[in-house]
Amino acid sequence: MKNFLIAPSILSANFASLGQEVDAVLAAGADVIHFDVMDNHYVPNLTIGPMICKALRDHGVTAPIDVHLMVRPVDHMINEFAKAGASMITFHAEASDHVDRSLQLIKEHGLKAGLVFNPATPLHHLDYVMDKLDMILLMSVNPGFGGQSFIPSTLQKLRDVRQLIDASGRDIILEIDGGVKVDNIREIAEAGADMFVAGSAIYGQEDYKKVIDEMRSELEN
Ligand code: DX5
Ligand code: ZN
């Protein structure tokens, strides 16, 4: 069976008790913590930076932290998040002037590196960098906010990227972010995703374990 990863987005957590919110989703069975970094420049919202990532590590979080950079410029934040304890860093193809350099920088820090595609960003940005990618993140909403609806055209895009990954013969994680719910996760997996970010679907419910169990049973049965 495929190794499916469930990654709650702390964007929808209660920031007033973030440490406990992260502990709670991990205790409920989450595999990865998705960490959304917004700069009110590349996207119209402002969230959290490397200090908060470091604070989660100091709090005792040992699970992988998946840093999704929605910032411009990119490279300085790569260095800061590497120091702050990130495990994987992804950035948007349009946000870096030198995509190859940014990918190399992430890898020099020994972290998993990934490129993010907005719903309307074409896939040609993958050309010539597939060999440097550990993950590809497809946005299924326009970045900036939690709680939006999954954009259906992303399903075909997932199938297209899955083909490219399989043809490359490389072990690249295909991550999906935006509007993922218990109701659509199976269809999204069938289109080729293997890592699922979910913010409002998990943190919007009282019982995190119930939602994560339901997602896993959709994926595995
Ligand atoms: C949106 C963020 C997402 C967001 C997803 O820009 O990248 O990670 O938290 O939230 P939901 O799962 O609520 O769509
Ligand atoms: Zn995200």
Give the start-to-end residue ranges of the domains of the chain. Answer: 5-220
How would you class 32 by CB atoms within 10 Å of its CB: exposed for 0-12, middle for 13-18, buried for 19 or more? buried
Contact between 21 and 206 (Cβ < 8 Å) = no
Known active-site residue 177? yes
How much is the ipTM here?
A: 0.99
What CATH superfamily classification does 5-220 receive? Aldolase class I (3.20.20.70)
Which of the listed residues 6, 11, 39, 66 should we mutate to test ligand 1's pocket, taking the one with most ligand atoms within 8 A of CB?
11
- pLDDT, one tens digit per residue, over 102-131 is 999 999 999 999 999 999 999 999 999 999
- pLDDT, one tens digit per residue, over 15-57 is 999 999 999 999 999 999 999 999 999 999 999 999 999 999 9
Ligand nearest to the CA of 114: 2
**Residue 146 assigned to a binding site:** yes
The pLDDT of residue 171 is above 70: yes
Distance CA 54, CA 86 (A): 8
Q: Which of 36, 39, 134, 194 is catalytic?
A: 36
Residue 11 CB-half CA count within 13 A: 29
- State residue 221's pLDDT score: 83
Confidence of residue 1 (pLDDT cuts 50, 70, 90): low
- State residue 2's pLDDT score: 82
The pLDDT of residue 72 is above 90: yes
**Residue 192 assigned to a binding site:** no
Known active-site residue 36? yes
